[in-house]
Amino acid sequence: MEKMVNVYLFGKKYSVPAGLTIMTAMEYAGYELVRGCGCRNGFCGACATIYRIKGQQQLNACLACQTEVQEGMYVATLPFFPLVKQVYNIEEIKPTEQVMMQLYPEIYACIGCNACTKACTQELNVMQYIAYAQRGEYEKCAEESFDCVMCGVCSSRCPAGISHPQVAMLARRLNGKYLAPGCGHLADRVKEINDGTFEELIENLMQKPLDEIKELYNNREIEK
């Protein structure tokens, strides 16, 4: 007999097997998660969730896909958090310190409370990558924020109203476009695709049965 735990989903009590994630526990309880969440035909980070354990006052933020249920867990998923997303043309802006001042000036109102870092579902040092963005150190900002899934929980806790994930996205785009070294191998492969080099191969693959395609994939030669 599996160990069962009692959880409360949107105020209703359910008994679910221990070891399930919040997301799979919701499905076990009968909820059909067909939209929104990245692993359910949506966007990664969309399963941002808050919960409290019975008898404790602290509110916790997490991603429902990677957090196991606990006895006495009260769960409520968060609606989409309306992050400020500025419009820009990556071909027209440059990786200067001024570009952050123009697009996301609120980052300079950061009071250093570290609430964003404490709330991050990925345990990223959010306040640190915002500090990098303030100084125009976009390579460091891109590296520090690399695992961000843009759930928006950090921004929901920010008294300065900073849209941390969008700031990080801009830094990663600037870094990829202007600062990171080019990849000749990738450029060559893109050219081959545009030239139609693989069209005949792809057409042949599409005619094969699924089992044969799986076999080819599992035994493919992986480039070093």
DSSP 145-176: TTT-----HHHHT-TT---HHHHHHHHHHHII
| pLDDT (0 to 100) of residue 52 | 94
Work out the average pLDDT over 162-177. 96
| pLDDT (0 to 100) of residue 35 | 65
Residue 91 has pLDDT above 90, yes or no: yes
Place of tokens 């009590």: 13
Q: What is the pLDDT of residues 98-129, one digit of tens each?
A: 999 999 999 999 999 999 999 998 999 999 99
State the Cα–Cα distance between residues 107 and 110, nearest whole angstrom.
6
Lowest mean pLDDT among 37-46, 49-58, 108-117, 130-139: 37-46
Q: What is the pLDDT of residues 13-23, one digit of tens each?
A: 999 999 999 99
Place of tokens 């640190």: 128
Has this prediction a pTM greater than 0.85?
Answer: no
Residue 92's CB is within 10 A of a number of other CB atoms, namely 6
Q: Cα 77 vs. chain centroid, distance in angstroms?
A: 16
Residue 80 has pLDDT above 80, yes or no: no
Please give the structure tokens belonging to residue 215: 């076999």
Instruction: State percent of the chain over pLDDT 70.
Output: 96
* Domains assigned to the chain: 4-77 (3.10.20.740), 97-179 (no CATH), 193-218 (no CATH)
Instruction: State percent of the chain over pLDDT 90.
Output: 73
Work out the average pLDDT over 169-187. 93
